Each structure stands twice: as structure tokens, then as C-alpha cells.
Amino acid sequence: MLAGKAERRPRGELARVLVVDDEADIRELLDLTVARMGLSADCAASVAEARHLLEQQRYQLCITDMRLPDGDGLEIVRLITERYGETPVAVITAFGSAQNAVAALKAGAFDYLAKPVALEQLRSLIKSALSLPRRNGGADGGQVGGAAAQLIGESAAIGHVREMIDKLARSQAPVYISGESGTGKELAARLIHDHSARRAAPFVPVNCGAIPENLMESEFFGYRKGAFTGADRDREGFFQAATGGTLFLDEVADLPLVMQVKLLRAIQEKKVRKVGHTAEEAVDVRIISATHRMLKECVDSGTFRQDLYYRLNVIELRMPPLRERDEDVAPLVEALLVRICGPQPPRLDPQAMTVLKAYSFPGNVRELENILERATALCNHDRIVLDDLQLAPATVVNDSAGRDGETLDDYLNRVEKQAILDALAKTAFNRTAAARLLGVTFRSLRYRIERLGIEE
């Protein structure tokens, strides 16, 4: 017998939530919370009952326990993801069961709650799930399908990125964006946020490599007045500033190990403690992280915690380098020239376009924009010719001279090593000055020197 029954409802009636839990008191708590929010709920005590209700009724949200008498919550997550994609599903996990939470998010869950269920977090989750824009256009006219419209190009690689962004915008799962410098990692993070249930709240980007190590805890978590010399007032941190929204941790691999431990706890417990305060406070933020480095290699080398890696890398979004999408160069050039020069930009000479398409773009889209800015300043009238681009012939992909059969990784490592050696030579092996010259952080330069085996 079903724990609750579902009936077809006319349009305009209350949004309906499906609650799946084998404990009667938990079902009652969830049902009561949903009712007090002006919603209606149907309850099921097993996977079988949940399947039956899903066949009978369309739901705006499903909340399910992980442990059920005839299966587990992952079965319901997969079922809803495959057959009822418009319905977000949240799971309730045992306290401290991080593994179950990650597994549910990877399977497609919108979010998770840990037992004992905190009513404030439950209400926040329900509000977020119900405010998700519909894929065919939400109440505010926004379209999730248009989330990646700002990603220019028609290549298969960028098409996959668009599809991933549309999916990730409908989840609360932590996302790790990998890719080289200049590939648009922050743009992808913003698009995920702007078309998610958190779009009305702040998007807070943080460059982890630009914060002095002794200030990291106070910058991330805030501090109380009098916590240290100079703390003349209470101050919010990045987590508090991003409340209800998204915290984007750029160059997360540059975080020192001590800070990684504290960040891991904040993510797992969804609580932070201000410097100088004895009590923790709940925070509601979605974490999106990125780095141009290979984070798995950092884990293997011991510079990045494995447990934090698995919490950040629940879902990975890889941003392809521009050399893997040469068919996108022409539309990117067109769009960037309009951005730089306005509605009547100079046109690119066919020969210049041919060379651009063969260029390796070590700096990716950011470098392409810099090349075009320089070219528009140098060109005569309304035409950009090859000389205006000022490209070094050795950086053309088709030009294999000097590579002697090297793999792409070996070739790029050799170029990177030479650039670092040149910078060190110019600064008399002053690493701080060399890092500034190369435009990277000191920690990033130190890591590169160790990885490439550079000796003074």
C-alpha cells in the first residue's frame, strides 16, 4: 500500500514534491515542512512506491533517503535523471557519509542533505530547486539552453562544453573546470551560475594564487573585531559574500596545504568559523574551482590533498585549448574584432586568417584577443594584413621544423622550460622577480621549476 497517493492536478495548483523515506517520522517532518512552504507532497516508503508515484504524477522536486528497504536512493536518482529530467532530485545521506553524497551528485542529484536534517537547509534547498529555470524557458524568460550562447564556435569540442554547462546549471554539485590559461574557465563558471537556481545571488570569483598565505583564513571565512592587530571591525569573508550564490576558486592548486584542510571542512560541513569566533555559522554556497595545472598530478606529487580533490572534482568540465578547435578561429576573430572596434571593425586579409588558423595559440583565446588588439592598432585603415599580426613563425602548428618528432607535451614542456630559464636569467635567478616577469604566482613558478627539473 502506498504511503501517500498522487492525483492529476489542474494547472495553477500548488507545486508538488515527492518525498521518499522508509522512516515515518522523517516523512512527516518533510511533509510538514513542504506544506508550511505552501507546497503539496506525496510520500513513498520504498523505491517501488516512488516508481509508481512518478508514473502517475509530475513533480517539481523529489527528496529521497539513500537507504530504502528495497534498494537505495541512487536508483531513484538515476531513474529521474533518465526519464524525468525536468525534476530535480535531492538525497538525504547519513551524517558524515561524504562518499554517498559524492556518488549521488555524480549520478545526477541536484543536491544532498545530511542527517539530522536541518530545517533551514531543507527550506533553502527546496527554494533553490523550485527556482530552477525550465529548459524551454523559465518564468523569467531565461533559457538554460542559451546558457552557453556566449561560447563562440561550432566545433564538436565547444559543442560538448555547451551541453555540459546546460547540465551543470541544473545541479548544485561542485564542479572542477580544467584547461590551459586563456581557455575561458571563468566564463564557463559564470555561465553555469547565471543559468542556475542561484543566478539571483552573487558570483564571487577568487584568485587563490593572489592571496598572501597568512591572510587566507580571514579572507575566506571573515574575522571578528579584535581577532588580530588591525581588525577594528567585523568583516565577512568570501564564503559569506557568496551566500546563496557561487564561489569560484580560480587557480585552486595554489592553495597551501593548511588552507586546503580548512576548505575541505567548510565544504563537507557547509559551515565556517570566522577568525576570532568560537562558533561556526552555516553557509550556503556552490563551489566551482579551476586551475590551468593538472590537479591529479598535484595530488600525486603531494601538493594537493586527495580528499579535497575528490570533493571539488565531483564533475569535471574540460575547456579545450584553441589549437583543438581551429574551425572556431574565424568566428572568434569576427566576434573579438567587433568587441575591440565596434560594429564596423577592420577585416582580416585571407592570408592573415590562414596563418592564424595554423597558429598554436599557447595563450588560447586570451592570446588571440591580444593579437587582434595589437593588429588593429598597427593596421592601415580597414584591413589587417599578415605583418600586422606579428606572429613568430616557430609558433605555427603546421611548422614542425625544430621539433624532431617530439610529442606535443614534450614540445610544450621544452618551450615552457626555455621561457622560465630566460626569465630567471634576466632576473639573476630571483624567483620572485621571474614570476612577476612571467605573469604567474611565486608558488606556480616554484611548482613549474620542480616539475621541469630546472636547477640554478
Compute the average pLDDT of residues 142-169.
78
Cell numbers at residue 396, please?
605555427
Q: Are 328 and 365 in contact (CB under 8 A)?
A: no
Strand partners, 250: 207, 290
Query: Looking at beta carbons, which pairs linking 98-104 to residues 24 or more positions away fall under 8 Å?
Result: 98/268, 98/311, 100/66, 102/310, 102/311, 102/314, 103/74, 104/66, 104/73, 104/74, 104/77
Compute the average pLDDT of residues 128-138.
71
**Model pLDDT for residues 202-219, shown as the tens digit of each residue:** 999 999 999 999 899 999
- Locate the DSSP E strands across 228-329: 246-250, 271-272, 281-282, 286-291, 315-318
Closest CA to 451 of 333, 294, 291: 294
What is the model's pTM?
Answer: 0.75
What per-residue confidence (pLDDT) applies to 140? 42
Output DSSP code: residue 226: T
Measured distance CA(456)–CA(441) in Å, rounded: 19
Higher pLDDT, 347 or 229: 347
Percent of the chain at pLDDT exceeding 70:
89
Measured distance CA(294)–CA(284) in Å, rounded: 28
Task: Name the CATH architecture for the domain at 408-452.
Answer: Orthogonal Bundle (1.10)
Task: Name the CA dihedral angle for 101, 163, 166, 43, rounded to a multiple of 10 degrees.
Answer: -50
List the 286-291 sheet strands across, edge first: 203-207, 246-250, 286-291, 175-178, 315-318
Measured distance CA(156)–CA(324) in Å, rounded: 10
Alpha helices in 37-181 (DSSP H): 47-56, 73-83, 98-107, 119-130, 156-168
Phi/psi of residue 33, each to 5°?
-65, -45
Measured distance CA(315)–CA(327) in Å, rounded: 27
Q: From residue 204, how far is each of 133, 219, 247 by CA, in Å?
A: 21, 12, 5
Q: What residue type is 23 in one-letter code? A: E
Q: Which residues have CB under 8 Å from 382's CB, separation 6+?
A: 344, 346, 347
Measured distance CA(218)–CA(394) in Å, rounded: 46
> For domain 151-318, which CATH number applies: 3.40.50.300, 3.10.20.30, 3.40.50.1820, 3.40.50.620?
3.40.50.300
Q: Residue 442, CB half-sphere, CA atoms under 13 Å: how many?
A: 10
**Same fold across 16-130 and 151-318:** yes
Q: What are the sequence ranges of the domains in the chain?
A: 16-130, 151-318, 322-395, 408-452
Measured distance CA(331)–CA(328) in Å, rounded: 6
CATH of domain 322-395: 1.10.8.60
**Model pLDDT for residues 381-408, shown as the tens digit of each residue:** 789 998 888 886 545 444 444 455 566 6
Closest CA to 47 of 62, 31, 32: 62
Q: Which of 49-53, 406-410, 429-433 has the highest mean pLDDT?
A: 49-53
pLDDT for residue 139 is more than 70:
no
CB atoms within 10 A of CB 29: 17
pLDDT for residue 225 is more than 90:
no
> For domain 16-130, which CATH number applies: 3.40.366.10, 3.40.640.10, 3.40.50.2300, 3.30.565.10?
3.40.50.2300
3-state secondary structure of 133: coil
Compute the average pLDDT of residues 177-188.
93
